[in-house]
Amino acid sequence: MSHSERTSSVPAKLTTKQAILGAVLAYISLIISQLAAVLVSQGIVRLGVPSAVGSAISGILYIVLAFLCVSLICRKCFKSTMDSCRITKFSVKPIWGITALILPCIIVFIYFMMPGHLKNTVMDAGELCYTITNAVIFYGLAAGIVEEVIFRGVIMSALEQRWNRYIAVIVPSVIFALSHVIGADLNFVSILQLLVAGSMVGIMFSLITYESGNIWNSALMHIIWNIVMIGGILHIGVEENKYFLFNYVLDSHSFAITGGDFGIEASVIAIMGYLIFSILAIVLLQRRRLK
């Protein structure tokens, strides 16, 4: 038996109550951990600590609180360990490490080939340090790891252990997409586009988790994607965003290309990227089963 097969094994089936309770508690844990981390960061900054340091502390605290909550859920609700949710020691397969770099690079390259212009935002040293720290530590490491631990770790495993893998892939992916709709100022078409894109990227992360046997491969993809695409380093859209270090302002206003009100993460181009690497994960899973 391979290492990935050992780490992807699951314990005896959970009851419906255990599965639903564990999934709900995991989602609540994500919200509470993030809120607590942000509030602590804001308090520290008000005391005179540089905003970059506050952002770094916020990201680290977010991860720590989420892991503490998840450990408690696994022990008390699932009567198991975090390993049963594929939250194992850090391990990344080379193919997914490479993919984590390739996916955002391909998307950025395609957009840079489209008509538009590049602009950089003038920032002082403090703003620049905060922007980079926020992108790498909070939006990158913290958000990427915690969201994968919650959605592809606890929730997906809970649904799989109670029902089956199909439900375990689809349901958390749809919830993941819906989570990005909350609080967003979007029109109806943009909401539909976001639900499709959010579900597709969730399915991609889920399939990668199954293929690799742990959450760290999808987490690495999530981290690098967030750093490059949403953290504050590079913004691609129809208007300049002054909170990003670099802006590539597109001439096109087609919602299929721009992703509508949500942005290029929900574009047809991004969705095609999610689909291609989802297919790669399926192919690798099928090959392993045939061995």
User: What digits encode the pLDDT tens for the residues 171-228?
Assistant: 999 999 999 998 788 999 999 999 999 999 999 999 999 999 999 999 999 999 999 9
**pLDDT tens-digit profile of 85-110?**
999 999 999 999 999 999 999 999 99
Q: Between the CA atoms of 277, 279, 285 and 288, what dihedral angle is there, to the nearest 10 degrees?
A: -100
Question: Does 2 have pLDDT greater than 90?
Answer: no
Provide the pLDDT for residue 4: 43
pLDDT at 10 over 50: no
- Count, residues in the chain: 291
Cα–Cα distance, 145 to 224 (Å, whole number):
11
Dig out the tokens for 259 from the structure: 């992703």
pLDDT in the model for residue 9? 42
Range of weakest confidence among 8-17, 52-61, 97-106, 137-146: 8-17
Q: Which of 200, 252, 245, 209 is nearest to 227 (CA)?
A: 245
* Predicted pLDDT at 13: 84
Of all residues in the chain, what percent carry a pLDDT higher than 90? Answer: 91
Q: Residue 114: CB partners within 8 Å, gap ≥ 6?
A: 250, 251, 252, 257
Comparing CA positions, the residue from 231, 229, 222, 234 lying closest to residue 269 is: 229
Domain residue limits, the chain: 3-290
Q: What is the mean pLDDT of residues 250-254?
A: 95
Alpha carbon distance 155, 217 (integer Å): 17
Answer yes or no: is pLDDT of 115 > 70. Answer: yes
Are the C-beta atoms of 148 and 205 separated by less than 8 Å? yes
pLDDT at 7 over 90: no
Q: What is 237-267 written as a DSSP string?
A: ESS--TTSSEEEEES---HHHH-TTT-GGGS
Higher pLDDT, 11 or 109: 109
pLDDT at 12: 58
pLDDT value for 288: 83
Between helix 51-76 and helix 125-133 the angle, nearest 10°, is 10
Give the DSSP letter of residue 8: T
What is the pTM (predicted TM-score) of this model? 0.93
Task: Give 53-119 as a DSSP string.
Answer: HHHHHHHHHHHHHHHHHHHHHHHHTSSS-GGGGT--S----HHHHHHHHHHHHHHHHHHHTSSEEEE
What rounded mean pLDDT belongs to the chain? 93
Q: Tell me, what's the pLDDT at 279?
A: 98
Are residues 74 and 158 in contact, defined by beta-carbon separation less than 8 angstroms?
A: no
pLDDT of 36 above 80:
yes
Per-residue pLDDT, 182:
86
Alpha-carbon distance of 186 to 188, in angstroms, equals 7
Considering only CA atoms, give the Rg of the chain.
19
DSSP three-state, residue 120: strand
Choice between 142 and 185, residue whose per-residue pLDDT is larger: 142
Q: Of 3-12, 65-74, 89-98, 235-244, which range is least confident?
A: 3-12
pLDDT of 1 over the 50 cut? no
